[in-house]
Copies of this chain bind each other. A is one copy, B any other.
Amino acid sequence: MTHTTLGDVARTAGVSLATASRVLNGSTTVRADLREKVMAAAEALAYRPNAHAQALARASSQVVGLICHDVSDPYFAAVARGAMRVAADHDLMVMLASTFRDPDREIAYVSTLRAQRARAILLAGSAFQDPAWERALDAELTPYQEAGGRVAVLSRHRARADAVLPDNRGGAASLARALLGLGHRDFAVLAGPPALTTVADRVRGFREALAEAGVRPAPDRVVTGDLTRDGGHAAARELLSRGPLPTCVFAVADVMAIGALTAFREAGLRVPEDVSLAGFDDIPVVADLTPPLTTVTLPLEDLGERLMTLALAPAPRRRHHRVPAEVTLRASTAPPRPA
């Protein structure tokens, strides 16, 4: 990797290194003819400044880190899109990392981004309920912040970090109430890994709202699976194998609902005639399913934009954006069939 350097440019332009640097950085105190020469030389040599050297000299880099669970999950894809748009507006590059829901990998990535002296680190994936992990993560984040690094988190809490907080609990509760309103009393939940706080919040909100109405799903009606299409598919099959179907199934994430929908279809069940199905997130494709999926809508791209915006606009004190989650009723839910 032996690229053209500023020295090369300066030499062919016949000026000093300092002058070349000044020109390329838009200083106005350089005589026009010299400026021309430098520009011409840079152009001719296809010169690009070494970002590492710049970062070192300026003690600041042009990169921000974005850590999510899985880029290919439509939820994170949308969040990343929003975040990257804002980054692009600020001429920043984003380093994207997928943890695949491995807590250790998240810490490792934070560490790497710390080494990269990233301007900001965005944690977009929900947290894990694990004190040891929390401590280890803090051990990376705290020195980073003390050195001036910015941290912004999505769907999780951290002292001294700005946060974008979609209302997982409230959204799930609203959904439950809407479903109760349709007449359902017999529910099942397809849950993701309980260690994920997002999952826990959604299950909790859903349960609480049911409890208010005096409804309590039996323990075997809460099935846990991966937070993926296949996880939802497997969880739905598991549910089917456990006996009589409830009238309504809530999948804690749309991706799981998609898998469940197919599992139901494969089992010869019609949605919503035989069973109502609802998801969470409102990822782009679910409105195009047959039937279109009832879900809780989150402004996904907006979440990413806010996250990045928070991270890039330092504020004296910690800020929270609470983002409402609204129920979107579609055709996948209907009143239960009279028994």
Partner of A56, one of B53, B84, B285: B53
Asked, given contacts A56-B56, A284-B229, whether A50 binds B1 with beta carbons under 8 Å apart, the answer is no
A288 within 8 A of B: yes
- CA A2 to CA B146, docked complex, whole Å: 8
A7 vs chain B, min Cβ distance (A): 14
A312 within 8 A of B: no
Contact, CB under 8 Å: B50 / A117? yes
Contact, CB under 8 Å: B93 / A81? no
Partner of A287, one of B1, B3, B262, B287: B262
Asked, given contacts A81-B98, A95-B94, A261-B288, whether A72 binds B72 with beta carbons under 8 Å apart, the answer is no
Interface size of A as a range = 35 or more
Among A275-307, those with CB < 8 Å from B are 284-285, 287-290, 301
A97 within 8 A of B: yes
- CA A78 to CA B284, docked complex, whole Å: 16
Partner of A50, one of B112, B115, B258, B287: B115
A203 within 8 A of B: no
A32 within 8 A of B: no
Contact, CB under 8 Å: A117 / B77? no
B-chain residues with CB within 8 Å of residue A97 when the two chains form the complex: 84, 88, 93-94
A147 within 8 A of B: yes
Contact, CB under 8 Å: B93 / A116? yes
- CA A48 to CA B1, docked complex, whole Å: 24
Which 8 A-B residue pairings sit nearest by Cβ, starting from the closest? A290-B290, A72-B81, A46-B143, A52-B55, A52-B52, A72-B77, A3-B147, A96-B96
* Known contacts A46-B140, A70-B81, then 13 further A-B pairs from the complex at CB < 8 Å, ordered by chain A residue: A1-B149, A52-B52, A52-B117, A53-B56, A72-B78, A74-B74, A77-B77, A85-B98, A93-B97, A93-B113, A94-B97, A96-B96, A229-B284
Give 18 CB contacts A-B under 8 Å: A1-B60, A1-B148, A2-B59, A46-B140, A51-B115, A51-B116, A53-B56, A56-B56, A63-B116, A70-B81, A71-B84, A72-B77, A72-B80, A84-B96, A94-B96, A94-B97, A258-B285, A265-B290
